Structure 1
Amino acid sequence: MTAAAAMALGVLTLTALAPPAAVAAGRPDTVQQGLNALVHSDGLPAALASVKDRAGRTRDYTAGVGDVATGSKVPVDGQVRIGSSTKTFTAVVVLQLVGEGKIDLDAMVDTYLPNLVRGDGIDGQHITVRQLLQHTSGLPDYEDLVGEDIRGHRYFEPRDILDIALQRKAVFAPGKGWSYSNTNYVVAGLIVQKVTGRPFAEEVDRRVIQRIGLRHTYFPAPGDMTIRERHPHGYARDTADAPLRDVTELDPSVGWTAGQMISTNSDVNRFLAELLAGRLLPQAQLAQMRTTVPIGDTGAGYGLGIMSRPLSCGGVYWGHGGDIDGYETRGGVTEDGRAANVAVTGVPVDGAGTGRVEKVVDTALCR
């Protein structure tokens, strides 16, 4: 697996209406077992999930504690920072504007942001909007350059983020490879603002959140370092043996349109289900979104802000995970209406831990 592919898979972070058949029959619930293992074996403070079956029945799960200092319970379907799952929301806004004739997927970045994207081997005259959304632009990532700034609660303007990223040289020439980069989505967000003349937060709220009634999803305002509703505390550790640090309050502006949003497992499930059902995009743009390029030899594919991943029981699911200090999310929906999203706190420090979170998603969708 290439380093880029590994990184991509690393970013893929209600009360029960009816019990699953396994529970009703008195057998152990495999999703609950998976969450319990993440807490007890991986040492994650909290794990929570929302799962919807083919019949539309939803069940929520929790394991661990919501606050390690007090031992308080994990709030059922609590709000979490969803990190790079924000990218799917951003891609939907861009593709809506494509459908409205205001953005052309194959137009160059300079069409909308003239002379802005320039650097070593980087030229916005040769990068298309499609390449931004599919991570084939060659733009370098900035994530590892801003770790201390996140801990210091620094606020970033989108142009600040772009300036940091452009200090690095291009990873490859546009269209000549695939490499996951948050920078792509910062540029996409700037295009949305230029085309609409409105803040991105307003556009995603009007076009997506309000449109499908996501009651617990929002794009934090500048300077808002809190999580509005009931939530588990977020924790980080630098190494597997390091103590946990409470990082619940942070300035998420460094993620912006690549990773700033807050939501719940059930809201993310609803968003993805509505998206795949064609209620957010015209069929032409949804088809473009679901046209993927392979992510190394992982079996996964990356479309325009969404990933397809194989299931152990056959078929694929569509979604986009996310990671930000304190929280990791993984999940997706299937063609036949199954949906599962899992969130954990105290983000796994390696790919193997993330793989075990993804395994719970697979278990939930395949049972």
Structure 2
Amino acid sequence: MTEGDGRTRTYTAGVGDRATGAGVPRDGQVRIGSNTKVFTAVVLLQLVGEGRLGLDDLVEKHLPGVVRGDGFDGRKITVRQLLQHTSGIPDYEAEVGEAIEQGRYVEPREVLEIAFRHPATSTDGKTFHYSNTNYVLAGLIVEKVARRPLAEEIDRRVVRALGLRHTYFPAPRDRGIREAHPHGYHQDAVGGALRDVTAIDPSAAWAAGQMVSTNSDMNRFFSALLGGRLLRDEQLRAMRTTVPVGDSGAGYGLGLMSRPLSCGGVYWGHGGDITGFETRGGVGPDGRAVSIAVTTDPADYAVTERLEGLVDQVLCR
């Protein structure tokens, strides 16, 4: 947890390695899953602020001929709709879990082929439907416009700019976690055995979920973003302009989520799930930031609800 004045507190619980009983490293590195989407969106929005592309550009302009499928077409979908998950483009996530656990490197174009076998989730361009495919496409657009690899742009424009010393985008076929870290575990079903899945190849997640960070770095990142240190005012306003996430009370902007607080107002963040790890957190109205990581990707959604409840409790205390 990071207070608005910069004071930090770190808490750990449980064990970091079930085989040895070793403790959880203090502020250790974890896989941050879909929090990666915020980094991807920030870089793309920086390029928008530089006049190198527009949010209302059609995807076809930057990725000609790439997006074609049953009910979706890159000639009718905008960059904004990708970032806000209103494109209707189907997800691929359910079909790559085995590749991730096997440690198999997966190219971005391969996950697009998987996703494009399925029909559109909506066709009105307004309905929110979460799809990792949107952010793979956003990452490809960054690379096309910047003419540099996405990982390099994230590192240069965000990680090094903010001094996030424990945050990185794993290199191709990099299955480990570089610094001190807890092990991550997977449970196939509620009550099932926990399998150690710390060493995976996260490439299938790429621009949608590949990065590694720490809780303190994530607090610093979200605080800097919402404090205006990464984006110009116009792009930050666009990022915080949301559509409803079903009837949950949450809103999804351009890679940034708002969630209601029990004490009033909302907090801004995202959250992430990837094989072995789950992360939740964000920044509240008074500038207090909290990040929580657990070292399982549980089969029971009640665990996620408890994590979000804990974020609420900390931000409302």
2:5, 2:77 → 1: CA distance? Answer: 43
Q: Shift of residue 333 of structure 1?
A: 0.5
Q: Shift of residue 174 of structure 1?
A: 4.8
Aligned to 2:177: 227
Does residue 165 of the first structure (1) align with residue 115 of the second (2)? Answer: yes
Please say which structure displays the higher CA radius of gyration: 1
Aligned to 2:282: 332
8 Å CA contact 1:107, 1:129 repeated in 2: yes
Aligned to 1:212: 162
Q: Shift of residue 196 of structure 1?
A: 1.0
Does residue 244 of the first structure (1) align with residue 190 of the second (2)? Answer: no
- Shift of the 261–174 alpha-carbon distance from structure 1 to 2, 3 Å rule, reads farther
Aligned to 1:61: 11
2:244, 2:204 → 1: CA distance? Answer: 28
Q: Residue deviations 1:32-53, cap 9 Å, x none?
A: xxxxxxxxxxxxxxxxxxx112
Give the fraction of aligned pairs with identical amino acids, expressed as a percent.
67
Q: Secondary structure at the match of 2:13?
A: strand
Counterpart selection for 1:282 from 220, 232, 246? 232
1:94, 1:55 → 2: CA distance? Answer: 30
Q: Shift of residue 169 of structure 1?
A: 1.1
Q: Which amino acid aligns with 1:135?
A: H
1:194, 1:303 → 2: CA distance? Answer: 23
Aligned to 1:197: 147
Instruction: Specify every segment of 5 or more residues in structure 1 that has no aligned partner in the other structure, as ranges.
Output: 1-50
Does residue 265 of the first structure (1) align with residue 215 of the second (2)? Answer: yes
Q: Shift of residue 363 of structure 1?
A: 1.3
Summarize the alignment of residues 92-107 of structure 1 with structure 2, pairs less than 5 Å apart: 92-107=42-57
Q: Shift of residue 241 of structure 1?
A: 2.0
1:325, 1:91 → 2: CA distance? Answer: 22
Q: Secondary structure at the match of 2:9?
A: strand
Aligned to 2:134: 184
Counterpart selection for 1:72 from 19, 22, 25? 22
1:122, 1:310 → 2: CA distance? Answer: 32
2:204, 2:82 → 1: CA distance? Answer: 18
Of 149-158 and 242-251, deviating more is 149-158
Aligned length: 317
Aligned to 1:11: none
Aligned to 1:91: 41
Q: Residue deviations 1:210-230, cap 9 Å, x none?
A: 001000000000010000000
Q: Shift of residue 105 of structure 1?
A: 0.2
Q: Shift of residue 319 of structure 1?
A: 0.2
Q: Shift of residue 336 of structure 1?
A: 2.1
Instruction: Specify every segment of 5 or more residues in structure 2 that has no aligned partner in the other structure, as ranges.
Output: none
Q: Which amino acid aligns with 1:261?
A: M
Q: Secondary structure at the match of 1:62?
A: coil
Counterpart selection for 2:267 from 317, 328, 331? 317
Aligned to 1:128: 78
Q: Which amino acid aligns with 1:240?
A: V
2:248, 2:16 → 1: CA distance? Answer: 33
Aligned to 1:305: 255
Does residue 116 of the first structure (1) align with residue 66 of the second (2)? Answer: yes
| Moved segments of 4+, more than 4 Å | none
1:310, 1:241 → 2: CA distance? Answer: 31
